[in-house]
């Protein structure tokens, strides 16, 4: 075990330099059901800086914007309500949200299962309005009734089972969670997942960390990694704002750290959150992602690597990248986060899985 830890330490420093990242945090865990050569591995590591303007070192406990990793919580919320008998995956979105509509009569064909698997044909969000963030509870409902939604048209009929990634679909799924549960989306996430799992450093309400402020300086004082990008000369600079808008909570606004995401991974590896047959359905391939050939289940992407099936989700927004993957066969998970736009976290994640597989 000592040898692989040394290898991991060396690789992380190389990845930080090679991929030109301000900061990088990694979590790798292999449970007791994993391969004998790796069982019990629990590796947490941070490298680089939290903020390029101050040079403050990045620590493993610092908080990152997890972007679309948020969707795994939204999909689990829909499945939890299904498990409770409060909705069905064949339910149609037009019936669940009668005030929502688009400029396409085929909207009435869309079912929850289509939205979870990105086969609904719904368009994607074009403007997240990070520069005009809303923090009020009405924000999500207003987005559903906005011109971006109402004036949109389907790319194709959901019956065609074609993949097209849609953040819009996930905002509407979050609204379904709120309507069916009688709680705000964020409160449902907190009461159903974050609190029971002890994810005390996680929230979908970024502004709550500072008493209401989204100013970078206030967020930094609250222990959050700062967002970065590269300028025209390819130099790393700090982003001007933090990516938050309550209109896009269900698709994008989870903030967390690698310790809490390890708890989320373990809950799924142990199949604690849902009935076992629901996990089988959630992780069953529904369609293929055209650009990379990965499979798509009910929100979970899936790929093969070294003879192992790996399931997870990527996240990208202004200033951040996140890569969250689990391997039930290995009883393992790998999370990689970086505080810069377009950071190569998926490449790093694949390399880390390769290092694990190579030791089996």
Q: How far is CA 114 from CA 163, 248, 296, 299, in A?
A: 10, 19, 11, 10
Q: Can you name the residues that pair with 296 across neighbouring β-strands?
A: 287, 301
> Residue 344 — very low, low, confident or very high, per pLDDT cuts 50/70/90?
very high
The long-range contacts involving 129-134, CB below 8 angstroms and separated by at least 24 positions, are 129/245, 129/247, 130/241, 130/242, 130/243, 130/244, 130/245, 130/317, 130/318, 131/241, 132/245, 133/214, 133/244, 133/245, 133/246, 134/245, 134/246, 134/247
Number of neighbours of residue 342 by Cβ within 10 angstroms: 12
Summarised one tens digit per residue, pLDDT across range 7-48 is 999 999 999 999 999 999 999 999 999 999 999 999 999 999
Bridge partners for 323 per DSSP: 314, 336
Reading the block at residue 137, the tokens are 């509870």
pLDDT the model gives residue 2: 76
Nearest in space to 28 (alpha carbons), one of 13, 40, 15: 40
Mean pLDDT, residues 140-160: 97
204 burial class (0-12, 13-18, 19+ CB within 10 angstroms)? buried
Arithmetic mean of pLDDT over the chain: 97
Q: Given pLDDT bands bounded at 50, 70 and 90, which one contains residue 156?
A: very high
Q: Tokens 């339910």, residue?
A: 91
The token pair that represents 96 in the structure block: 């669940």
- Please list, in sequence order, all residues whose beta carbon lies within 8 angstroms of the beta carbon of residue 195, skipping any fewer than 6 positions away: none
Question: For residue 163, which of 103, 116, 98 has the smallest C-alpha distance?
Answer: 116
Q: What is the pLDDT of residue 1?
A: 74
Nearest to 224 by CA among 335, 336, 59: 59
What are 291-322's pLDDT values in tens digits?
899 999 999 999 999 999 999 999 999 999 99
- Cα 48 off chain centre by: 22
> Bridge-partner residues for 256, per DSSP?
64
> So what's the pLDDT on residue 135?
98
DSSP calls for 309-359? EEEEEEEEETTEEEEEEEETTTTEEEEEEESSTT--HHHHHHHHHHHHHTT
% of the chain surpassing 70 pLDDT: 100
CB 167 within 8 A of CB 252: yes
Question: How sure is the predictor about 165, in pLDDT bands with cuts at 50, 70 and 90?
Answer: very high
pLDDT-derived band at 127, boundaries 50, 70, 90: very high
Task: Tell me the pLDDT band of 260, cut-offs 50, 70 and 90.
Answer: very high
**348 near 24, Cβ under 8 Å?**
yes
Query: For residue 276, how many other CB atoms are within 10 A of its CB?
Result: 7
Does residue 235 register a pLDDT over 90?
A: yes
Burial label, 197 (beta-carbon count in 10 A; 0-12, 13-18, 19+): middle
Q: What is the pLDDT of residue 192?
A: 98
């Amino acid at each position: 075990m000592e040898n692989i830890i040394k290898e991991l330490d060396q690789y992380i420093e190389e990845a930080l330099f090679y991929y030109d990242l301000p900061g990088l945090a990694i979590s790798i865990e292999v449970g007791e059901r994993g391969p004998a050569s790796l069982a019990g591995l629990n590796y947490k590591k941070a490298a680089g800086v939290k903020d390029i303007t101050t040079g403050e070192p990045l620590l493993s406990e610092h908080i990152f914007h997890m972007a679309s990793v948020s969707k795994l919580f939204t999909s689990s919320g829909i499945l939890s309500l299904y498990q409770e008998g409060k909705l069905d995956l064949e339910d149609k979105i037009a019936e669940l949200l009668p005030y929502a509509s688009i400029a396409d009569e085929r909207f009435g064909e869309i079912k929850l299962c289509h939205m979870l698997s990105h086969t609904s044909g719904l368009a994607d969000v074009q403007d997240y309005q990070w520069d005009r963030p809303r923090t009020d509870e009405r924000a999500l409902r207003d987005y559903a009734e906005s011109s971006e939604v109402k004036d949109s048209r389907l790319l194709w009929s959901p019956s065609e089972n074609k993949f097209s990634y849609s953040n819009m679909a996930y905002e509407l799924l979050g609204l379904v969670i709120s309507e069916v549960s009688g709680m705000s989306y964020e409160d449902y996430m907190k009461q159903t997942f974050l609190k029971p799992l002890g994810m005390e450093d996680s929230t979908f309400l970024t502004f709550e960390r500072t008493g209401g402020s989204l100013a970078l300086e206030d967020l930094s004082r609250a222990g959050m990694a700062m967002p970065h990008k590269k300028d025209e000369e390819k130099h790393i600079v700090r982003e001007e704002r933090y990516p938050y808008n309550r209109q896009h909570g269900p698709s994008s606004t989870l903030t967390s750290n690698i310790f809490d995401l390890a708890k989320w991974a373990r809950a799924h590896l142990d199949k604690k959150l849902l009935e076992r047959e629901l996990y089988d359905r959630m992780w069953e391939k529904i369609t293929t992602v055209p650009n990379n050939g990965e499979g798509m289940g009910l929100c979970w992407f899936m790929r093969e690597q070294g003879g192992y099936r790996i399931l997870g989700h990527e996240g990208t927004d202004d200033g951040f990248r996140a890569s969250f993957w689990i391997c039930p066969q290995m009883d393992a998970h790998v999370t990689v986060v970086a505080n810069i736009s377009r950071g190569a976290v998926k490449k790093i994640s694949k390399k880390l899985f390769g290092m694990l597989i190579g030791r089996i």
